[in-house]
Structure 1
Amino acid sequence: MTKAFSNGKYAIVGAGLMGRLLAVALAKRGAQVELFEKGGSDAANAAARIAAAMLAPLAESAITEDNVVRMGVHSLPRWKQLIDELAKPVYFQQDGTLILWHRQDASDAERFASHLERNCDRNQALSKPIHLDSQSLAEIEPGVADRFTQGLYLPNEGQLDNRQLLEALLVEFTLMKVPCHWNQSIDPEQLRNSEHGFDWVIDCRGLGAKDSWKQLGDTSKDLRGVRGEVIRLYAPEVKLRRPTRLIHPRYPIYIAPKEDDVYVVGATEIESEDLSPMSVRSAMELLSAVYTVHSGFAEARILEMATQCRPTLKDNLPEIFVDQKSNQADLMMINGLYRHGFMISPAILDCALEVLSSGSSSTAIELGLEVTGSTHQELSACA
């Protein structure tokens, strides 16, 4: 595959998670890459910056499609490989996910556990959840043993530090001398003109590509934003070892422990493209819920309350679209990663590289990732 890229020239528009991953992957394979981003190098406006970056295909299987779960399973070992290749360290952990619930929510937890077990029966790549009694819970996560007497442990799931990853990918641009055009808003169609000399233009703009997807003329490809809200806390009195999720009928939450006693807490998912600050209600519910998990959060310091909108297609599934025309650079559009960006992005990356290399992707077929195109028969076969 490396040989296929060595003489290619690629423009990537959008320097969020997918844009950065693709730029680094292509540059490492010998391609000439240029990156265009309407914001700055800090990714301040990227959805990837406001995320918990949990890699939890079994936990997410309760609320998402089987193909997304398969992409998550594929991506877990790939994340370790990708991070190991970076010059700057990135926090990565694969110590599983802990599921907790209060006594009054036991029936919801039982249904949740049964759902996960059925999903494991359908997908042998998933590790079955382990039921924890008070003793085994105290052994695996002693910090919550005084408030909970049972739980579920999901082996092999993981997480990474999203902000460290974005910074590490930025370092790779410098090391590999990738030209980066920061604070430059540009329509990918402009870069397809032959005067620029690109072989491929890759659109990774997330919600910024809303008009481009709408112009495809298929309402199922219309992008929308789904608002998410997270709180970052500094809580030195709390010593959670792994991402923890609380089952609750009104405000289920996740708590993702990062390095240096920092915790990312979130849950909300709102059908809105509103980017205004977090509401009082959301803040109160998140903070109240997190306190019920561990009393040490009472003295935590609020580092940040942040909101962002995740780019989402009508079916909540990711898609790669390819447009190839004569006398123009080929166009690839990648979008719709929804709330699963970090969980599935290595799978999307691998499929995109195969399409760029050969015009089709056996990995996409295997994982159920939709790849559509306007001209090539091979691309139609991937859909």
Structure 2
Amino acid sequence: MSDSPNTIAIRGAGITGLWQALMLARKGYDVTVYERSEAPFADTASRYAAAMLAPRCEEESAEAFVRDLGLRSIALWQESYPGTIVNGSLVLTLPRDRPLLERFSRMTSQHERIGRERIEELEPGLADRFEMALFFEDEAHFPPEAAMAWAQKAAEEAGARFVLGTEEYDKTADLVIDCRGLGARADLPELRGVRGERIIVRSEEIALSRPIRLLHPRQPLYVVPRGNHEYMLGATALESDEGGRISVRSTLDLLGAAYALDPRFGEAEIVAQGAGVRPAFPDNRPRIIVSPRYIYVNGLFRHGFLLAPALAELVANYLEDGTREEDLFADSLER
């Protein structure tokens, strides 16, 4: 960018906006974040995320750039956030669905095919029901709320300011970075909502230490440990703009898949449930859309925690020397 800005206004304090604030404040910019909710993260889709950093598993359905940027993001999370848990991911199927595991193995890389004995070492509670799994050793996870709270605090320590409870922002700032997700759809009409539903359960009888993906022909499932004997159950991706409470059908599907994974989930306590709506463009690719004094960072689909750090780094590089990742940057929207 030819004229580097001094003051930057960031709109939106989901995980995308938080990482933009953190990265740019640490580089010495004068950053202010504006968030419409009065309480941090109250209106963000990020708080419904699983916060799995699983770039190798995403190879099964996502483009190569998701893997590449995701690997960079894991490094940035590890460098910055002490709560990053690198225990890998475990992908498995019931014996009757073995072809799904074989397909997943062909579509992904850097995994170890393991049998019952190794499953017993990694997750003792699963070895009596599963004979084979794929282990992705370098993948990571953490509870999303704790990670967002850390990101806000770290950005403030780096000098960023947060203004909550308002849609207004400083229009005289040298640069505005818009990270509002679906809140920016009036400007980005191609954006659509992708509803993600999740249930949080608590059980002292279950002891999982890493994200588990259960492949299933109708309803796949992921289970993510959150600490304090809590687990997030999720996997739904519905074309919908409606957040709020989870549907009965999804509840039955998720709980049924969890019971198939480990019958002890049948005795677990349901702690919370809900649905968030994630922003996506038609091709599910994120965009960094550049126009004079205004940049949109949007369309992260279901990869918010996985891509946010790397996208913040790409924006910072662009501001410093004009470097652009052509597959992600676009020029439009005269303002």
Shorter-chain TM-score bucket reads over 0.9
Q: State the one-letter code of the partner of 1:113.
A: S
Q: Distance in 1 between matches of 2:143 and 2:182?
A: 23
Conserved? CA contact 1:226–1:338, under 8 Å: yes
Residue in 2 that maps onto 1:327:
none
Q: Distance in 2 between matches of 1:78 and 1:169?
A: 12
Displacement of 1:179 in angstroms is 3.0
Q: What stretches of structure 2 of length at least 5 have no aligned partner? A: none
- Between stretches 307-316 and 176-185, larger displacement belongs to 176-185
Residue 137, structure 1, aligned to residue 119, structure 2: yes
Residue in 1 that maps onto 2:291:
323
Residue in 2 that maps onto 1:349:
312
Equivalent of 1:245, from 196, 213, 237? Answer: 213
Across the aligned residues of Structure 1 and Structure 2, the Cα RMSD in angstroms comes to 2.0
Residue in 1 that maps onto 2:174:
199
CA deviations on 1:262-286 (whole Å, 9 max, x unpaired) are 1111011101111241111110110
Displacement of 1:177 in angstroms is 5.1
Equivalent of 1:101, from 77, 93, 103? Answer: 93
Residue in 1 that maps onto 2:65:
67
Equivalent of 1:170, from 152, 156, 180? Answer: 152
Q: How does 1:37-76 map to 2 (within 5 A)?
A: 37-76=35-74
Residue in 2 that maps onto 1:258:
226
Residue 28, structure 1, aligned to residue 26, structure 2: yes
Conserved? CA contact 2:195–2:242, under 8 Å: yes
CA deviations on 1:241-269 (whole Å, 9 max, x unpaired) are 11000010011000011211111110111
Displacement of 1:345 in angstroms is 1.3
CA deviations on 1:310-369 (whole Å, 9 max, x unpaired) are 000111001101101xxxxx11110010001111111111101111222223xx35xxx4
Displacement of 1:82 in angstroms is 2.2
Displacement of 1:373 in angstroms is 2.2
The DSSP-based 3-state class of the residue aligned with 2:187 is: helix
The DSSP-based 3-state class of the residue aligned with 1:265 is: strand
Displacement of 1:209 in angstroms is 0.3
Residue in 2 that maps onto 1:16:
14
The DSSP-based 3-state class of the residue aligned with 2:217 is: coil
Residue in 2 that maps onto 1:373:
331
Residue in 1 that maps onto 2:295:
332
Cα 1:293–1:331 shift into 2, 3 Å: same
Conserved? CA contact 2:53–2:141, under 8 Å: yes
Q: Distance in 2 between matches of 1:226 and 1:109?
A: 26
Residue in 2 that maps onto 1:152:
134
Residue in 2 that maps onto 1:83:
81
Cα 1:320–1:305 shift into 2, 3 Å: same
Q: State the one-letter code of the partner of 1:352.
A: V
TM-score under structure 1 normalisation? 0.83
Conserved? CA contact 2:40–2:164, under 8 Å: no
Conserved? CA contact 1:92–1:161, under 8 Å: no
Cα 1:178–1:347 shift into 2, 3 Å: closer
Q: Distance in 2 between matches of 1:25 and 1:72?
A: 16
Q: Distance in 2 between matches of 1:360 and 1:211?
A: 28
The DSSP-based 3-state class of the residue aligned with 1:57 is: coil
Displacement of 1:156 in angstroms is 0.5
Displacement of 1:288 in angstroms is 1.1
Conserved? CA contact 1:319–1:334, under 8 Å: yes
Q: Distance in 2 between matches of 1:284 and 1:113?
A: 28
The DSSP-based 3-state class of the residue aligned with 1:226 is: strand
The DSSP-based 3-state class of the residue aligned with 2:302 is: helix
Higher relative contact order by CA 8 Å / sep ≥ 6: 1 or 2? 2
CA deviations on 1:58-95 (whole Å, 9 max, x unpaired) are 111101111111111221111101214xxxxxx32111
The DSSP-based 3-state class of the residue aligned with 1:99 is: strand
Cα 1:176–1:348 shift into 2, 3 Å: closer
**Count of matched residue pairs:** 333
CA deviations on 1:204-249 (whole Å, 9 max, x unpaired) are 10000001113xxxxxxx1000001001111211111110000100
CA deviations on 1:295-321 (whole Å, 9 max, x unpaired) are 221221111111011000111001101
Q: Distance in 2 between matches of 1:199 and 1:74?
A: 28
Cα 1:225–1:374 shift into 2, 3 Å: closer
Q: State the one-letter code of the partner of 2:285.
A: L
Conserved? CA contact 2:13–2:40, under 8 Å: no
Displacement of 1:158 in angstroms is 0.9
Conserved? CA contact 1:96–1:157, under 8 Å: yes
Conserved? CA contact 1:231–1:306, under 8 Å: yes
Q: Distance in 1 between matches of 2:238 and 2:64?
A: 23
Residue in 2 that maps onto 1:291:
259
- Between stretches 165-174 and 65-74, larger displacement belongs to 165-174
CA deviations on 1:155-199 (whole Å, 9 max, x unpaired) are 20111221001111232354345332211013x6xx44xxx2x11
Q: State the one-letter code of the partner of 1:32.
A: D
Q: Distance in 2 between matches of 1:140 and 1:176?
A: 38
Conserved? CA contact 2:194–2:239, under 8 Å: yes
Residue in 2 that maps onto 1:311:
279
